[in-house]
Amino acid sequence: MIALNSKVQVVDHPVVQHLLTKLRDYQTQSPDFRRYSITLSQYLVYEASRQMTVRELGVETPVGQAKGSSLTDYVILAPVLRAGLVMAEAAQKMLPAARIYHVGLKRDEETLEAVSYYAKLPDSLPPDSRIIVLDPMLATGGSAASAIELFAKLNVGTIQLVSFVAAPEGIKRVHSQFPDVHITVGSVDSNLNEKGYIVPGLGDAGDRIFGT
Ligand code: PRP
Ligand code: URA
């Protein structure tokens, strides 16, 4: 694992890098892209979950007493539609008690600003909430920042972001607005092109996942 700074973690695990390479390959077709995306999400969310808090406790095994621990966070998964859906599917398998709040955002391809089309959040959340925003591509950072803002307004808990690939511009944007958000990624790529795509990136994640 490489820590770019205390708030950005790049998962350099060989399996993660293998899966990411499969996703980057323009020849990878949707069914495989989706399958690799789900597996990659599991690894990334697993690494992100190192941030979670635990309570120490004792446990009785069939042959004695052991020291143990139990997860204490009230976990909320916040997939950014559409592409974040595959990440939520993977994350929920690992964290079955997690609540899921979907965030519908569409990037305006002219202005590159995120436009909200769905957000149904409660008025309040428990103070020990841990919100894990799931968005495969952190490009300009507009979508991730809008999703984070929805939860930040509720003034609770801890917010994390998990992405497959980030551009330096996206990380900068998120951290300029929300310096405490911990970001877990498979790679920080070179830059954005004139259309706001991550270079080299993996193309349009939503289109490749859903075959559109
Ligand atoms: C893509 C991607 C991110 C967003 C990243 O979504 O899935 O949500 O762009 O770009 P940004 O960091 O510049 O905001 P898109 O708007 O294409 O929607 P989709 O997932 O429905 O295809
Ligand atoms: N959205 C994507 O799906 N890919 C990019 O490279 C940028 C935004």
* Tens of pLDDT, residue by residue, the chain (212 residues): 787 778 999 999 999 999 999 999 999 999 999 999 999 999 999 999 999 999 999 999 999 999 999 999 999 999 999 999 999 999 999 999 999 999 999 999 899 999 999 998 999 999 989 999 999 999 999 999 999 999 999 988 899 999 999 999 999 999 999 999 999 999 999 999 999 999 999 999 999 999 99
Has residue 149 been placed in a domain? yes
Within 6 A (CB) of ligand 2 lie: 137, 139, 196-198, 201, 204-206
| CATH number of the domain encompassing residue 144 | 3.40.50.2020
Residue 139 covered by a domain: yes
Residue 198 identity (one-letter amino acid): I
Q: How many domains does the chain have?
A: 1
Which residues does ligand 1 sit against, CB inside 6 Å? Answer: 80-83, 106-107, 112, 114, 135-144, 170, 196, 205-206
Full residue range of the structural domain in which residue 193 is found: 2-53+71-210
Asked if the structure places residue 65 within a domain, the reply is: no
